């Protein structure tokens, strides 16, 4: 699975980086995005949802980060 590591990247740079990474992928591709706890996990998923992507899961990892799983869906 495609993976985008945004640990250590602050808002809103993490969101912009996610957008750029998603641009290179085909619609329908499932992607995993690694996010920091705190503001990033509160902001990035909702912003990506607002962009039209289908969010399918969000889980906390053992080391305290978050793993967001989504399907790229953009016009």
Partner 1 sequence: MSETKQPKLDLSNLKAGGFIKERGKDLFTIRLRVPGGRMSIPRLKKIADVADKFGGEFVHLSVRQSIELININYKNFDAVVEALGEKDQKVASCGARVRVPVACGGCEYNPNGLVDTQKSALEVDQKLFGTPTGHHKFKVAFAGCPFDCPKSATNDVGFQGAIEPVLDKAACISCGLCAKSCVPKAIVMGADNKPELTPAACIWCGDCVKVCPVSAWSVKKQGYTVRIGGKWGRNPLVGTLFATFLPEERVCEFIEVVLAWYKEKAEAHGRVRLGDIIIREGSQAFLDHLRVTFPENVVSSTIPPQVILTQVGN
Q: Which is nearer to partner 1, 9 or 53 (CB)?
A: 53
Nearer to partner 1, 28 or 59 (CB): 59
Cβ distance to partner 1 smaller for residue 5 or 39: 39
Minimum distance from residue 75 beta carbon to partner 1 (Å): 19
Q: What is the DSSP letter of 3?
A: E
Compute the distance between CA of residue 28 and CA of residue 41 in angstroms, rounded to an integer: 23
Please, is 7 exposed, middle or buried when counting C-beta atoms within 10 Å of its C-beta (0-12, 13-18, 19+)?
middle
Q: What is the contact surface with partner 1 in residues (CB under 8 A)?
A: 41-42, 45-47, 49-50, 55-60, 68
Q: Torsion over CA of 71, 31, 28 and 49, rounded to 10 degrees?
A: 30
CB of 8 to partner 1, least distance (A): 20
């Amino acid at each position: 699975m495609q993976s985008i590591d945004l640990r250590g990247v602050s808002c809103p740079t993490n969101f912009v980086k996610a957008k750029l990474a998603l641009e290179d992928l085909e619609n329908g591709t499932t992607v995993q995005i690694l996010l920091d706890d705190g503001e990033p996990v509160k902001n990035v998923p909702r912003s990506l949802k607002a962009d039209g992507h289908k969010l399918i899961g969000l889980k906390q990892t053992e080391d305290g980060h978050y793993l967001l799983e989504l399907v790229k869906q953009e016009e």
